[in-house]
């Protein structure tokens, strides 16, 4: 048993908000902290932590207790095991008899399971760090750019192959340390040979990633095969990743890889970064994005979503750029919206994954992820959503349920506008489909169901058309805010001076310089509502979204503006020339005529560069 004085010392030393804060994002609320309860599903916090009383209480489901009880409840560990873990964490020295107690007497099933997984984790780690059998593992980790420090944070290990250490390296280790092999089999670490009934290792020749709870318990493993141990047999390929089996300890759908290393950073950075693979997580942490986690070989689930929801309200999805990745992204967006979490997307091109993208480009995309609904809409458009009346209706049908999930009416309004712009549908139609209760019914005559008034007003007086070059530049900038850098940025501000376009350019450039995304709704709010229709047609069409040569379009736009600018100077020069001629200032007349000629020449040269590119500028 644990001596009373040691128990008291531990209870005094424990910082209850730190222990619970590993699992729940806590916000100060007076002298207490509050957060989302880990014991029942909720969207508004009713879970309180009281530092003075060193306790927690949920007013939703009634759970309460101290830090030890909290850990027992979330981790399922016994009292003794929990105390042992917390004593480690808060540097309390327990008597050797308690600390090293390996007998099963005081331990519950879960404790025993955890001791097996922890023994295995320690073994794999030891092999990777220093044993000759780990040479290939070390070499591969180095090739993948995994540094010492990060390897330690993730407690990465190596399961040796039969050529390196026989078929039963882990079996031997577990036996030596007195663990039950049947238990290890249930946990999916070892298997029994049908032929001779001997146990052998399930993980062989693999880089090992333990799946660790925020409190530090090892729930299971995910092992990535080393390329050197990959079967060359096409008929019987070696799976790239294998996971330890679902068990009392390990449910893939309920936990995320990297959570123990990420949870603190998710809270401080205010977002979680969701990537596909374990190595993506590790490499992102190494590059300073310690808020990265991954679903475990399964699709992202609503349980995993709930886990993240307790830590943050923003999740940035960055899956691979293939078809499967895009599909998984769409599913994750829906789950996150359901959980009232704001989804954003860092889109990768086909064939790209976070490790293969140029780091600088990837950083920029990470800084400014696309709002998920915008990503979703742009995907629909790229897939032909605006090709026909029917395809528009189908696209609206797909996006409406997502819009309906948005709680904030202003945000919903902005996205309804964006959807209307991109799908080229009337705002009112999208708006009524986006109403949470309407579900496709005709809009009621309820003022709350009307789109924001300023934006929907119809044009009363005819608008003069937009200057072509300026509209082209504005459209490019709206679709690709990073297209204009440095000098081009200055030129844009100089050339785009139409009162309907200039505020939009300003708005996009400002937001881009702050690394912020600006919605179409926000931009339209900057200009006279009468101009909205014109702007829809000329600017918010999304026609440069997939533009492969934005720089060329930029140059074309600037050239067009220059041509127009020169044109506007000519009448002025003609007036000056007439005046100089009347006054008999012959020299000035000659200079003006020469200047006019030069301008015309320049204009002709500019026009010549435009001739090849007529498809963009018309
Ligand atoms: Zn609760």
Q: Compute, in angstroms, the gap from residue 45 CA to the centroid of ligand 1.
A: 9
Q: Is 104 within a domain?
A: no
| Whole-number Å distance between alpha carbons of 213 and 223 | 17
Would you give the DSSP letter of residue 436? T
Q: At what angle do helices 409-423 and 372-382 cross, to 10 degrees?
A: 20
Task: Based on the fold, state whether residues 79 and 121 are members of the same structural domain.
Answer: no
| Whole-number Å distance between alpha carbons of 34 and 223 | 37
Reported confidence tier of residue 612, pLDDT bands at 50, 70, 90 = low
Q: Is 479 within a domain?
A: yes
User: What pLDDT sits at residue 99?
Assistant: 58
User: What pLDDT sits at residue 97?
Assistant: 66
Task: Based on the fold, state whether residues 477 and 613 are members of the same structural domain.
Answer: yes
User: What pLDDT sits at residue 100?
Assistant: 56
Task: Based on the fold, state whether residues 295 and 311 are members of the same structural domain.
Answer: yes
Q: Compute, in angstroms, the gap from residue 58 CA to the centroid of ligand 1.
A: 5
Q: Compute, in angstroms, the gap from residue 37 CA to the centroid of ligand 1.
A: 5
Q: Is 440 within a domain?
A: yes
**Given strand 206-212, what is the order of strands in its sheet?**
157-159, 206-212, 218-225, 241-243
Q: Compute, in angstroms, the gap from residue 25 CA to the centroid of ligand 1.
A: 14
Q: Is 460 within a domain?
A: no
Would you give the DSSP letter of residue 456? H
Q: Is 352 within a domain?
A: yes
Q: Find the helix or strand (DSSP H, E) in which 468 lies.
A: helix 468-479
For residue 369, the SS3 value is coil
Is pLDDT at 201 greater than 90 in this prediction?
yes
Closest CA to 24 of 58, 53, 61, 54: 58
Q: Summarize the confidence of residues 234-244 as an average pLDDT.
A: 80
Task: Based on the fold, state whether residues 434 and 473 are members of the same structural domain.
Answer: no
Q: Compute, in angstroms, the gap from residue 499 CA to the centroid of ligand 1.
A: 54
Could you give the percent of the chain with pLDDT greater than 70?
Answer: 92
User: What pLDDT sits at residue 443?
Assistant: 40
For 103-156, the pLDDT digits (tens) are 555 578 888 899 999 999 999 999 999 999 999 999 999 988 899 999 999 999
Q: Is 573 exposed, middle or buried (0-12, 13-18, 19+ CB in 10 A)?
A: middle
Q: Compute, in angstroms, the gap from residue 66 CA to the centroid of ligand 1.
A: 15
Would you give the DSSP letter of residue 225? E
How many CB atoms neighbour CB 608 within 10 A? 10
Reported confidence tier of residue 423, pLDDT bands at 50, 70, 90 = very high
How many CB atoms neighbour CB 430 within 10 A? 23
Q: Compute, in angstroms, the gap from residue 35 CA to the centroid of ligand 1.
A: 10
| Whole-number Å distance between alpha carbons of 493 and 453 | 30
Domain span at residue 40 reads 4-99
347 within 8 A of 371, measured Cβ to Cβ: no
Task: Based on the fold, state whether residues 125 and 244 are members of the same structural domain.
Answer: yes
Lowest mean pLDDT among 110-114, 165-169, 179-183, 330-334: 110-114
Q: Compute, in angstroms, the gap from residue 401 CA to the centroid of ligand 1.
A: 29
Q: Compute, in angstroms, the gap from residue 63 CA to the centroid of ligand 1.
A: 6
Q: Is 288 within a domain?
A: yes
Last residue of a domain, one of 249, 281, 308: 249
Could you give the percent of the chain with pLDDT greater than 90?
Answer: 32
State the total domains in the chain. Answer: 5
For 330-371, the pLDDT digits (tens) are 999 999 999 889 999 998 888 788 878 888 888 888 988 999
Q: Compute, in angstroms, the gap from residue 255 CA to the centroid of ligand 1.
A: 19
Task: Based on the fold, state whether residues 363 and 387 are members of the same structural domain.
Answer: no
Q: Compute, in angstroms, the gap from residue 70 CA to the centroid of ligand 1.
A: 12
Q: Which residue has the higher pLDDT, 154 or 40?
A: 154
The residue count for the chain: 618
Average pLDDT value over all residues in the chain: 85
Q: Compute, in angstroms, the gap from residue 57 CA to the centroid of ligand 1.
A: 8
Q: Compute, in angstroms, the gap from residue 69 CA to the centroid of ligand 1.
A: 14
Name 417's Cβ contacts closer than 8 Å, sequence gap at least 6: 427, 430, 451, 455, 519, 520, 521, 524
Is pLDDT at 402 greater than 80 in this prediction?
yes
For 248-295, the pLDDT digits (tens) are 888 888 889 999 999 889 988 899 999 988 989 998 999 889 999 999
Q: Compute, in angstroms, the gap from residue 75 CA to the centroid of ligand 1.
A: 16
Last residue of a domain, one of 41, 68, 99: 99
Task: Based on the fold, state whether residues 82 and 130 are members of the same structural domain.
Answer: no
Q: Compute, in angstroms, the gap from residue 334 CA to the centroid of ligand 1.
A: 24
Q: Is 85 within a domain?
A: yes
Prediction pTM value: 0.62
Q: Are strands 272-275 and 292-295 parallel, antiparallel or unpaired?
A: parallel
CATH classification of the domain holding 46? 3.90.580.10
Q: Which residue has the higher pLDDT, 287 or 483?
A: 287
Q: Compute, in angstroms, the gap from residue 79 CA to the centroid of ligand 1.
A: 21
User: What pLDDT sits at residue 451?
Assistant: 47
Task: Based on the fold, state whether residues 360 and 388 are members of the same structural domain.
Answer: no
User: What pLDDT sits at residue 257?
Assistant: 94
| Whole-number Å distance between alpha carbons of 475 and 486 | 18
Q: Compute, in angstroms, the gap from residue 272 CA to the centroid of ligand 1.
A: 23
Would you give the DSSP letter of residue 144? T
User: What pLDDT sits at residue 84?
Assistant: 85
Task: Based on the fold, state whether residues 59 and 152 are members of the same structural domain.
Answer: no
User: What pLDDT sits at residue 512?
Assistant: 80
Is pLDDT at 51 greater than 50 in this prediction?
yes
Task: Based on the fold, state whether residues 568 and 549 are members of the same structural domain.
Answer: yes
User: What pLDDT sits at residue 444?
Assistant: 40
Task: Based on the fold, state whether residues 357 and 381 are members of the same structural domain.
Answer: no
Q: Compute, in angstroms, the gap from residue 233 CA to the centroid of ligand 1.
A: 52
Task: Based on the fold, state whether residues 484 and 610 are members of the same structural domain.
Answer: yes
Is pLDDT at 426 greater than 90 in this prediction?
no
Q: Compute, in angstroms, the gap from residue 481 CA to the centroid of ligand 1.
A: 44
Q: Compute, in angstroms, the gap from residue 50 CA to the centroid of ligand 1.
A: 15
Q: Compute, in angstroms, the gap from residue 436 CA to the centroid of ligand 1.
A: 27
- Residue 66: φ, ψ to 5°: -100, -175
Closest CA to 539 of 556, 524, 549: 524
User: What pLDDT sits at residue 125?
Assistant: 96
| Sole residue written with tokens 């990060």 | 150
| Whole-number Å distance between alpha carbons of 85 and 522 | 51
CATH classification of the domain holding 174? 3.90.980.10
User: What pLDDT sits at residue 613?
Assistant: 59
Last residue of a domain, one of 367, 390, 417: 367
Q: Is 446 within a domain?
A: yes
What's the Cα-to-Cα distance from 340 to each of 43, 265, 471, rounded to whole Å?
A: 8, 20, 37
Q: Compute, in angstroms, the gap from residue 307 CA to the centroid of ligand 1.
A: 14
Q: Return the sign of the alpha-carbon dihedral for residues 308, 314, 320, 325.
A: positive
Closest CA to 170 of 228, 131, 136, 216: 131
Q: Summarize the confidence of residues 599-616 as an average pLDDT.
A: 77
Q: Summarize the confidence of residues 50-78 as an average pLDDT.
A: 88
């Amino acid at each position: 048993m644990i001596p009373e004085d040691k128990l008291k010392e531990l209870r005094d030393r424990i910082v209850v908000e730190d222990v619970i804060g590993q699992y729940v994002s806590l916000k100060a609320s007076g002298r207490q902290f509050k957060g989302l309860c880990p014991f029942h599903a909720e969207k508004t916090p009713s879970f309180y932590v009281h530092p003075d009383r060193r306790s927690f209480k949920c007013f939703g489901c009634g759970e309460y207790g101290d830090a030890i009880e909290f850990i027992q409840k979330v981790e399922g560990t016994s009292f003794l095991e929990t105390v042992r873990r917390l004593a480690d964490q808060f540097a309390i020295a327990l008597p050797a008899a308690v600390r090293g107690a390996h007998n099963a007497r005081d331990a519950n099933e879960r404790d025993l399971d955890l001791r097996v997984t922890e023994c295995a984790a320690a073994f794999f780690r030891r092999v990777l760090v220093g044993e000759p059998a780990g040479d290939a593992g070390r070499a591969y980790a180095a090739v993948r750019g995994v540094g010492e420090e990060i390897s330690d944070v993730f407690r990465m290990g190596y399961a040796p192959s039969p050529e390196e250490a026989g078929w039963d390296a882990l079996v031997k280790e577990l036996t030596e340390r007195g663990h039950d092999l049947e238990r290890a089999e249930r946990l999916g670490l070892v298997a029994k040979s049908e032929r001779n009934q001997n146990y052998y290792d399930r993980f062989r020749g693999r880089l090992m990633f333990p799946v660790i709870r925020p409190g530090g318990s090892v729930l299971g493993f995910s092992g990535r095969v080393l390329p050197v141990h990959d079967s060359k047999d096409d008929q019987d390929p070696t799976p790239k990743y294998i996971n330890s089996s679902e068990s009392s300890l390990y449910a893939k759908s309920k936990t995320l890889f990297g959570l123990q290393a990420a949870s603190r950073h998710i809270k401080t950075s205010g977002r979680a970064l969701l990537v596909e693979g374990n190595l993506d997580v590790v490499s992102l942490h190494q590059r300073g994005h310690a808020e990265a986690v991954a679903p475990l070989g399964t699709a992202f689930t609503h349980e995993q979503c709930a886990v993240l929801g307790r830590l943050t309200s923003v999740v940035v999805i960055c899956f691979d750029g293939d078809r499967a990745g895009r599909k998984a992204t769409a599913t994750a967006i829906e789950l996150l919206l359901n959980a009232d979490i704001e989804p954003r997307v860092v889109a990768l091109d086909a064939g790209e994954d976070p490790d293969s993208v140029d780091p600088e480009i990837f950083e920029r995309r990470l800084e400014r992820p696309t709002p998920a609904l915008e990503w979703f809409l742009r995907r629909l458009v790229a897939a032909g959503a605006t090709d026909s009346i029917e395809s528009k209706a189908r696209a609206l049908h797909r996006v409406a349920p997502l819009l309906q999930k948005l709680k904030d009416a202003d945000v919903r309004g902005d996205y309804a506008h964006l959807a209307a712009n991109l799908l080229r549908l009337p705002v009112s139609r999208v708006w009524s489909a986006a109403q949470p209760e309407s579900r496709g019914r005709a809009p009621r005559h309820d003022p709350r169901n009307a789109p924001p008034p300023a934006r929907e007003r119809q044009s009363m007086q005819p608008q003069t058309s937009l200057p072509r070059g300026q509209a082209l530049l504005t459209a490019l900038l709206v679709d690709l805010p990073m297209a204009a850098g440095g000098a081009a940025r200055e030129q844009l501000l100089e050339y785009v001076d139409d009162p309907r376009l200039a505020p939009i350019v300003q708005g996009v450039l400002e937001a881009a310089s702050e690394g912020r995304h600006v919605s179409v709704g926000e931009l339209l709010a900057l200009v006279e509502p009468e101009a909205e229709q014109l702007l829809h047609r000329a600017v918010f069409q999304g026609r440069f979204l997939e533009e492969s040569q934005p720089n060329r379009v930029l140059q074309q736009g600037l050239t067009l503006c220059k041509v127009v600018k020169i044109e506007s100077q000519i009448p002025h020069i003609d007036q000056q020339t007439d005046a100089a001629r009347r006054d008999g200032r012959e020299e000035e007349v000659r200079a003006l005529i020469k200047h006019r000629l030069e301008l015309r020449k320049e204009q002709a040269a500019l026009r010549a560069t435009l001739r090849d590119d007529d498809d963009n500028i018309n």
